[in-house]
A and B are shown apart, each in its own frame.
Chain A
């Protein structure tokens, strides 16, 4: 995604002091489709000793505009988000994609802006993906959760390549009692979501998802986890359409022990 210079700044080193003010970037998909992921994130952050706020004026990180070439709208939304979040010690998102947008792309979008550029840089330096923040900044990998399941973990492209998140979710999942993790082949391959890509190129996207689903099935796992709802909705939607019984959840739900809600795309029991 990017490895551009210019975003490097000394970042706060963990473990953080208890009582840090953390602003949750809920993400538009979690807000609309799966609030339970947001509440799981809040629970984990509070257990790690953070004070969690949810800034009111957040909407979306702006990626739909940014990735469609509408730079002006992306800049407007970046400014709105920066203004909403800059008063906090940390910004945490249950998504590598939105986290990557704030951390890596806001500074690029606003690089030439004398007023907003430095503000974007400052915010970027304090922005983390959820599992990364818990494991690396809070120094917490055990939240006492338990779940009897055999899971496999999908690395979302932005978590892996933009946010450099690889070990954190696995370290956290190791401490979930009863849970085993079986890695799939090509964990670094895209699932075919890609934001609006999956709607613009449905056939290509479907073929990419099909390959991913094959590698998931090959692990024998009964549970697919990831840290980005976009990938999860794509893969859950594909697997449900194909009649797969693999359940799909955001990693935060499992870590927080909040698996009462039906899995993504699963029938309601009540």
Chain B
């Protein structure tokens, strides 16, 4: 039921994305905005780099003690009158959510933004089972109307221009007065809000994600900028939290530590507009809140990577900074990655969640430029982990045969310096002669990938080593004479 990955078609997806003018416009706006806003906020916080170290160490500690904290979390939630449901995979998680919804005969479910919800394809599943899911996050609402998936971890509609949003609203909101002005973001927001309010009031169940699960408090946390999450989780009779296992933190204090780096890395805000903690169902003295509180705790393949060479990807707190700073993402946007998560972290998570054989190009779709690692709030060594995926692909012969043959041939020479000298001598002369006076080639044998968009600069005729040898022997003769 969850989204079928098209990650193996990354190259084709990317080429399409590069020709998509509105997408390119949207990506350009986002790039300028996100890099600068993060820089401005970080500049105001001298201890930011230290906090990143603390964040990394904290997440490492949690991953090493995941079982302990998850059990403690369950205990605390239960004490507060809530329920934790352990779900090893998407199937069991979907079934549990449906079971809870059916227990109150739910017809409508409101949803806060949840990436794990996307991961397990909860919307399509509920819809297929006669329950209408209504997205309440503006970005999610827009893409739900457009029948799309999120193109960014925190900005799901990042790929949509405001003109396209207007178009979508005019199409979907059939009662909309054609004369109504929807040109600026504020009026679009007002229009969405009007529609969403109705949804909040008729929903039987509210589903949110969680940025953190707090073990000692038995509480869950979400951060939003629209307040939609608060309405989603307090108005309906039942609140379901969907969360993956690595979201747990020991204490409120630890959540606060991560919150300090999360918003700054994500949106360049010092803090998100709303940071909301939920702890259990409504108590007799509470004025509001849900009657039932469920946490659907989802593994979905993560625990298999504990203790592995890829474990560090589980530190991710889903801020999206790596996407915001990735030159590949800037070029192609999120949908080209072909599944739920995109950008550098998507290239690490997608092979884990759908199988590397279904996401072959992703670990390779990076120059390993390292800008992602330089901004990651929990210092995930993304290039190193991408390389680890590549090693797994190479070991399983997933790497294309052409590439393997090329590598083998190159390695054969690179390990034999004398042969290497000979071949490079010939190569240097050939490249020099082919280019002639031009000094560059518009096409060259075996270099189609290179010359598709760029010329190949010529060689200078003789290799460095050849010239150096000549120079040394000349100097030797000079010394003797």
Residues in A lying within 8 Å of B, measured CB to CB: 1-4, 26, 28, 30-36, 38-39, 54, 56-60, 62, 64-71, 73, 76-77, 80, 108, 157-158, 161-162, 186, 188-190, 192-209, 211, 233-234, 236-238, 240-241, 261-262, 264-268
- Which residues of chain B come closer than 8 Å to A30, judged between CB atoms? 464
CB distance from B451 to the nearest CB of A (A): 8
What are some 9 contacts across the A-B interface (CB < 8 A)?
A: A1-B369, A2-B370, A59-B415, A62-B414, A194-B366, A199-B447, A204-B331, A233-B457, A241-B453
From A54, A161, A196, A204, give the contact of B328 (CB < 8 A).
A204
Contact A64 B407 (CB under 8 A): yes
- How far is A10 from B447 in the complex, measured between Cα atoms in Å? 43
- In chain B, what residue has the closest Cβ to A264? B457
CB distance from B164 to the nearest CB of A (A): 21
- In chain A, what residue has the closest Cβ to B24? A207
- Which residues of chain B come closer than 8 Å to A80, judged between CB atoms? 415, 417
Contact A32 B411 (CB under 8 A): no
- In chain B, what residue has the closest Cβ to A270? B437
- Which residues of chain A come closer than 8 Å to B454, judged between CB atoms? 206, 209, 234, 237-238, 240-241
CB distance from B427 to the nearest CB of A (A): 6
A59, A208, A236: residue with the most chain B Cβ atoms closer than 10 Å: A59
User: Does B410 sit within 8 A of A, measured CB to CB?
Assistant: yes
- Which residues of chain B come closer than 8 Å to A76, judged between CB atoms? 411, 415
Q: Which of B408-458 contact A (CB under 8 A)?
A: 410-411, 413-415, 417, 420, 424, 427-428, 431, 436-440, 442, 447, 449-458
From B383, B399, B458, give the contact of A68 (CB < 8 A).
B399
Q: Is the interface of A mostly helix, strand, loop or mixed?
A: helix
User: Does B465 sit within 8 A of A, measured CB to CB?
Assistant: yes
- How far is A105 from B411 in the complex, measured between Cα atoms in Å? 18
Contact A198 B450 (CB under 8 A): yes
- In chain B, what residue has the closest Cβ to A233? B457
Contact B383 A1 (CB under 8 A): yes
From B18, B417, B438, B464, give the contact of A203 (CB < 8 A).
B18
- Which residues of chain B come closer than 8 Å to A1, judged between CB atoms? 368-370, 373, 383
Contact A261 B460 (CB under 8 A): yes
Given A31-B424, A32-B427, does the pair A267, B368 have CB atoms closer than 8 Å? no
- Which residues of chain B come closer than 8 Å to A234, judged between CB atoms? 454
User: Does B381 sit within 8 A of A, measured CB to CB?
Assistant: yes
- Which residues of chain A come closer than 8 Å to B364, judged between CB atoms? 197, 200-201
- Which residues of chain A come closer than 8 Å to B367, judged between CB atoms? 157, 190, 192-195, 197-198, 205, 208
Contact B379 A3 (CB under 8 A): yes
User: Does B392 sit within 8 A of A, measured CB to CB?
Assistant: yes
From B383, B420, B453, B463, give the contact of A202 (CB < 8 A).
B453
- Which residues of chain A come closer than 8 Å to B467, judged between CB atoms? 35, 39
Q: Which of B305-339 contact A (CB under 8 A)?
A: 327-328, 330-332
Contact A31 B463 (CB under 8 A): yes
- How far is A267 from B458 in the complex, measured between Cα atoms in Å? 10
CB distance from A158 to the nearest CB of B (A): 8
Contact B18 A204 (CB under 8 A): yes
CB distance from B367 to the nearest CB of A (A): 3
Contact B464 A39 (CB under 8 A): yes
- Which residues of chain B come closer than 8 Å to A194, judged between CB atoms? 366-369
Number of B residues whose C-beta is below 8 Å from A? 71
CB distance from A106 to the nearest CB of B (A): 14
- In chain B, what residue has the closest Cβ to A194? B367
Given A2-B381, A190-B327, does the pair A34, B459 have CB atoms closer than 8 Å? yes
- How far is A192 from B389 in the complex, measured between Cα atoms in Å? 21
* 13 extra A-B contacts, CB within 8 A, seeds A70-B411, A190-B327, A241-B453: A38-B468, A58-B417, A65-B411, A67-B387, A73-B407, A190-B371, A204-B365, A208-B327, A233-B457, A240-B457, A266-B439, A267-B437, A268-B437
- In chain B, what residue has the closest Cβ to A186? B35
- Which residues of chain B come closer than 8 Å to A56, judged between CB atoms? 417, 465
From A3, A31, A211, A264, give the contact of B330 (CB < 8 A).
A211
Contact B415 A77 (CB under 8 A): yes
- In chain B, what residue has the closest Cβ to A30? B464
- How far is A262 from B451 in the complex, measured between Cα atoms in Å? 21
- How far is A239 from B374 in the complex, measured between Cα atoms in Å? 28
CB distance from A206 to the nearest CB of B (A): 4
- Which residues of chain B come closer than 8 Å to A158, judged between CB atoms? 370
- Which residues of chain B come closer than 8 Å to A34, judged between CB atoms? 457, 459-460
User: Does B80 sit within 8 A of A, measured CB to CB?
Assistant: no
Contact A32 B468 (CB under 8 A): no
- How far is A38 from B389 in the complex, measured between Cα atoms in Å? 35
CB distance from A37 to the nearest CB of B (A): 8
From A70, A71, A196, A203, give the contact of B15 (CB < 8 A).
A203
- In chain B, what residue has the closest Cβ to A54? B468
- How far is A214 from B383 in the complex, measured between Cα atoms in Å? 26
Contact A59 B417 (CB under 8 A): yes
Contact B440 A240 (CB under 8 A): yes
Contact A26 B328 (CB under 8 A): no
- In chain B, what residue has the closest Cβ to A35? B464
Given A2-B384, A194-B369, does the pair A200, B449 have CB atoms closer than 8 Å? yes
Contact B456 A237 (CB under 8 A): yes
CB distance from B331 to the nearest CB of A (A): 4
Cβ proximity bits B381-401 to A, threshold 8 Å, 1 near / 0 not: 101100101111111000100
User: Does B238 sit within 8 A of A, measured CB to CB?
Assistant: no
CB distance from A54 to the nearest CB of B (A): 5
- Which residues of chain B come closer than 8 Å to A162, judged between CB atoms? 370
CB distance from A141 to the nearest CB of B (A): 25
CB distance from B178 to the nearest CB of A (A): 38
User: Does B403 sit within 8 A of A, measured CB to CB?
Assistant: yes
Contact A59 B414 (CB under 8 A): yes
Cβ proximity bits B8-33 to A, threshold 8 Å, 1 near / 0 not: 00010011001000000000000000
- Which residues of chain A come closer than 8 Å to B447, judged between CB atoms? 199
